Amino acid sequence: MKTAAIIGAGVSGLASAHVLSDRFDVTVYEKAERPGGLIRCEYVGGVLYHLVGGHVFNSRRKDVLEWFWRRFDQAGNFTKAVRKAVVALDRGVFVDYPIENHIYQMPNEMADAVIRDLLRIAAEGYGAPGNFDEFLQNRFGTTLYREYFRPYNQKIWQCSLSSIPLDWLDGKLPMPTVEEIMSANILRSQEMNMVHSTFNYPLRGGSQFIADTLAKGLKIVYNAPVQRLERREDGSWLVDGTPYDLVVFCGNIRQLPDMVRGSVSWGGGLEQDILSLQAHGTTSVLCEVDANPYSWIYLPGEGCASHRMICTGNFSPYNAPSKKHTATVEFTGQLDKETILKQLARIPYAPHYMAHHYESCTYPIQNGNTRQCVQAAKRLLAPMGLHLIGRFAEWEYYNMDAAIGAALDQLSSLPD
């Protein structure tokens, strides 16, 4: 049996290891002391703390669902929930998500303006947007763009929305027609087409339970940050001196040029393009909050710097002690505790600080050259037996199911 090394024990690395394990002797290298990557959790005062966001599972892909549920007891270990999200606009206005389907919950003046925008779009058409910013205005109109879509996305990405390419949108945003929006508002029907309109969530342990379960049975070397990848004359690789026939890199692609220096000739400015890739980090703040029925609360308003609250305490009754309500408040960038405390005072449901964590790479930022750059790297490296899979290996904003799908797509058909 040939050997394979997986760099990183996040969801992408764990899924890759399972996909290859029936054909390769697989070793996973993980720099931390436990698996999980961006989905890892810990407990603070008896409360489950998602260190980076709040991760749930569902998928439109049948093969991903089948792969996942072969490894988990859905009935015994998971609860299924209906997503209940809300947009907290300025002036204390709460509108259910997706906001365009709940115009009837807005103040009359705002609702009238949104309807006028939609009627104009229906008459004139959507036009031909050239970027993310133009898409938001053309699809949803000036009022929704101004009140929600622009400020919310600006908080997350903190760059010009016009620099984000259209192909980034695939599967990430609803694209309803005016007819569908008006129908939803008149019939007051619930949006169930989004991938996470319903979601599965572990009864205990949150997404760390998923990582720990997937890690069982795998050969994982913890506390082992890989420093060097060297390609040998026979086409195999040395991973910090240990030989492997195949390497799957699930780390940050910006670190790769230095790791493979002397073994890969990038050419054509590709190395510089990789090193120039941009990302944001996230400060996630665990809080005790007032009781509320929500799973996500989006915060587009200028009154606070946070872009959303994820009420992970509502995901499972075992995520917090009885009668205690908790949430993770997210901020783009690194904030100190003093700034966090000032910001929490501006956020709904009276969040009370418990802990915070900063993760330096959470949101990969795409521009018109990003996918071309990563695809060029893949075309160069794959024939050499080095494969890129994962959010920051591919510079894609992958959810858990998309990370699993990428491993299935790229590794299932590899020759033994």
Question: What is the tens place of the pLDDT at every residue in 330-353?
Answer: 999 999 999 999 999 999 999 999
- Residue 11: closest CA among 77, 64, 82: 64
- Residue 10: closest CA among 409, 412, 413, 398: 398
pLDDT for the residue 194: 56
Count CA atoms within 13 Å of residue 186 on its CB side.
7
Average pLDDT over residues 95-122: 96
Average pLDDT over residues 154-177: 82
The three state secondary structure string of 278-305 is: EEEEEEEEEEECCCCCCCEEECCCCCCC
Taking 80 as the threshold, does the pLDDT of residue 222 lie above it? yes
CA distance 140 to 274: 34
pLDDT for the residue 96: 95
Taking 90 as the threshold, does the pLDDT of residue 13 lie above it? yes
Taking 80 as the threshold, does the pLDDT of residue 172 lie above it? no
- Residue 149: closest CA among 165, 162, 133, 163: 133
pLDDT digits (tens, 9 = 90+) for 359-398: 999 999 998 899 999 999 999 999 999 999 999 999 999 9
Determine which helix (DSSP H) or strand (DSSP E) holds 239, and give its type and residue range.
strand 237-239
Q: No. of H helices and E strands in the chain?
A: 13, 19
Can you give the length of the chain in residues?
416
CA distance 329 to 221: 32
pLDDT for the residue 97: 93
**Residue 197 — very low, low, confident or very high, per pLDDT cuts 50/70/90?**
confident
